Structure 1
């Protein structure tokens, strides 16, 4: 494959991931700023905020179902077709959100319709990440899988930057205008990004690894059943490793928006700008960390990031408590921009290296999406509930971050840092080896 074709694969993997996460984070941020006023209306503002974050968390629990559906398609029919379906679903749901009437206009149907579209978002993102990752990793040269596997991870932060920029611009509007129509603009304009993503993906081919499985005729009838029967330990490892990558991220990137504005007196624009700067820095660091993992190993970089997360949990909250915009930016940059980067950079490649190509889409998707459901979407909700329960003390939230790190450390110690070799197992070679062993056993039995 020439450099031009490889760049197209990079863009197809990166763009789709960025669009998906632009849509997703757009919802997460607006949930803390607007939805509690327009869709989840309640006399107690805190209850409205909790309901709004609950709707944010809800999609994380539908993501594993989307993952099962689309990973089944991905492992049986192909990565490319699956990626077109997931991106289309996500785009339709996000565009629809921008057009929804509010609670004041249609009453209870407003939150019902919003939640329905949110669930559609969850289905789409459930299958998107695995396909985008495998598109990059399964095309990558042996010695650069860490770098290539980090590229779709950049889509997460790029999507967040785009969403943050869009909302930052909209928040410059007068308050009434932002609440009335300003927040809708990014949702509606996301349709343009989706059309671009579909156009890019139209011209790509299936990955070499999937073609090998197709040629061997060894496509599993029910990938989920085979994964749970033979690879359940790997799924548990992936779930555990995902916990520290997702929970602190949503605290540093989503929960902080409502916490800093409502509890600490920061402006929305200052908070969103701090998050935006941090995500730009981590976007730059992710491919660097991915490349370093090709040299030093995924596991070492991941553990370094997790330990950093443990050590920074309490200092993070102490720094932002100082009330300075500069300190808020510094804390966000360290937590979201620097410490989180090595964790997320190696996660996808590390997952792909512990699953066989026959069920790789299903395996990595299950681990990633179940971990995200348990620890990611619930993080802003848990953090808000802890604030209410403990009189606005940040101590329980810092302990929660440390707990997620400890869980992931336990999981990661079960991973053997194989870096490169696992992905190159040709299915036909494995089958021949198995046939040879069976024949030898039969001959031995006859003799």
Structure 2
């Protein structure tokens, strides 16, 4: 059934961009996205550069690399659990409450990592505590991006939903840029200084973003679509059950769409830092510099691709971006293996800024549009985070394992990217076009 509009804030039409609630939602979602990816980027970069020495000393180079990325992957195991818990909570009690809690949990865990004792001080308890905080970080992050994209899609004008829903994901690039910009100069420091206390600084700086994000979110109003459900008594008491009964097809579609976007994103932004440093042999500052360049590009390309999806459609844009990612894989890793700083920066900038963001720009609105209003938050959260386990969560670990198995050859890494990209490419042929969909509709897109 169509839920009648009872809120004074419009949910469709280009006039919505004048609504101050939309502007507040945009700032709220963007700051949260920045914090989430700042946290994950500093963890991923620290994993590549310092964690082996601080928390896993004595292990060989290859085994140590596998160990630190196994710990990295633990955060992705916790994310779907957080998506289950907080997604259902968001569909039953509203988006705002969940977004306040998730940003505090996520940022607080990162701040605590900066206070951890190292293995030389606490022995085996050091990596145990690191893993525990990584679990908490992932649990909070499990519903953060789902909440941001759901909130913005429900606030945005229908005709420009792709553009507005993509804007909070610029916060992802800002967060990654902040993290990598911090580690570029840190990675160039003498190891005694970096391993002594300087590595803690990026984690401790999370406190600033936490305060800002919580303050802004406490002032946020609930999304118009959820208000309509609440005022008409249509809020689901069991959104997870509704999702599993009515949305299995669209959940599997979400999994397929995420393989190339999420998996290759982490291969380029996290694993490549270790690859070009430990295998290719370039300076430790080159990888973070390349990711910083990609993040700068993303500030422009994400909203650009979101706007493009409003014109050409979500599915065609996603399909061509996935195909480009597959075709780019072989030259990408071949060029990175040359050790040229310029080529490494260009490859990672194109890989993330064009290929990954071509899919992400469309995905921001597409995932929210796939699911009905009564279980949308749960659907987006579970779809994003369960797929992230097999896409982004294991990507650095599998990449390290491939290097170990094939004597540091680059071609298995390219083949891995091609497989992920083709899964997504073929998934687009069973994905419904959702551009312009009414987000008050309780039914899924078909």
- Which of the five TM-score ranges fits, normalised by the shorter chain? over 0.9
Q: In 2, are the aligned partners of 1:173 and 1:182 still within 8 Å (CA)?
A: no
1:419 maps onto 2:438 in alignment: no
SS at 1:353's partner residue? helix
Match of 2:230 in 1: 214
Cα drift, residue 202 of structure 1: 1.4
Structure 1 residues 297-354: Cα deviation after superposition (integer angstroms, max 9, x where no partner): 0111111110100100000011112221111111112211222221111112111111
Q: In 2, are the aligned partners of 1:149 and 1:346 still within 8 Å (CA)?
A: no
Match of 1:370 in 2: 386
Match of 1:123 in 2: 139
In 1, the alpha carbon distance for the partners of 2:154 and 2:20 equals 17
Match of 2:14 in 1: none
SS at 2:57's partner residue? coil
1:88 maps onto 2:104 in alignment: yes
CA change 1:407–1:391 in 2 (3 A) is: same
1:319 maps onto 2:335 in alignment: yes
Gaps of 5+ in 1: 431-447
In 2, the alpha carbon distance for the partners of 1:156 and 1:242 equals 16
CA change 1:3–1:220 in 2 (3 A) is: closer
Match of 1:183 in 2: 199
SS at 2:197's partner residue? helix
Structure 1 residues 109-156: Cα deviation after superposition (integer angstroms, max 9, x where no partner): 000100000000010000111111112110001111000111122222
> Number of aligned pairs?
427
Return 155-164 or 101-110, whichever deviates more: 155-164
Match of 1:6 in 2: 22
In 1, the alpha carbon distance for the partners of 2:204 and 2:135 equals 18
SS at 2:408's partner residue? coil
Q: In 2, are the aligned partners of 1:305 and 1:343 still within 8 Å (CA)?
A: yes
Match of 1:253 in 2: 269
Match of 1:386 in 2: 402
Gaps of 5+ in 2: 1-8, 10-17
In 2, the alpha carbon distance for the partners of 1:79 and 1:171 equals 39
In 2, the alpha carbon distance for the partners of 1:21 and 1:243 equals 19
Match of 1:439 in 2: none
Map 1:38-437 → 2, pairs under 5 A: 38-425=54-441
In 2, the alpha carbon distance for the partners of 1:205 and 1:251 equals 37
RMSD over equivalenced CA pairs, Å: 1.3
Q: In 1, are the aligned partners of 2:276 and 2:339 still within 8 Å (CA)?
A: no
1:16 maps onto 2:40 in alignment: no
Q: In 2, are the aligned partners of 1:171 and 1:182 still within 8 Å (CA)?
A: no
In 1, the alpha carbon distance for the partners of 2:327 and 2:175 equals 28
Q: In 1, are the aligned partners of 2:41 and 2:175 still within 8 Å (CA)?
A: yes
Return 1-10 or 84-93, whichever deviates more: 1-10
SS at 1:29's partner residue? helix
Cα drift, residue 279 of structure 1: 1.4
1:36 maps onto 2:52 in alignment: yes
In 1, the alpha carbon distance for the partners of 2:240 and 2:404 equals 40
Cα drift, residue 62 of structure 1: 1.2
Q: In 2, are the aligned partners of 1:13 and 1:136 still within 8 Å (CA)?
A: yes
SS at 2:285's partner residue? helix
In 1, the alpha carbon distance for the partners of 2:287 and 2:42 equals 15
In 1, the alpha carbon distance for the partners of 2:268 and 2:316 equals 23
TM (normalized to structure 1)? 0.93
Cα drift, residue 230 of structure 1: 1.1
Q: Between Structure 1 and Structure 2, whose CA radius of gyration is higher?
A: 1
Q: In 2, are the aligned partners of 1:290 and 1:345 still within 8 Å (CA)?
A: yes
Q: In 2, are the aligned partners of 1:40 and 1:111 still within 8 Å (CA)?
A: yes
CA change 1:260–1:354 in 2 (3 A) is: same
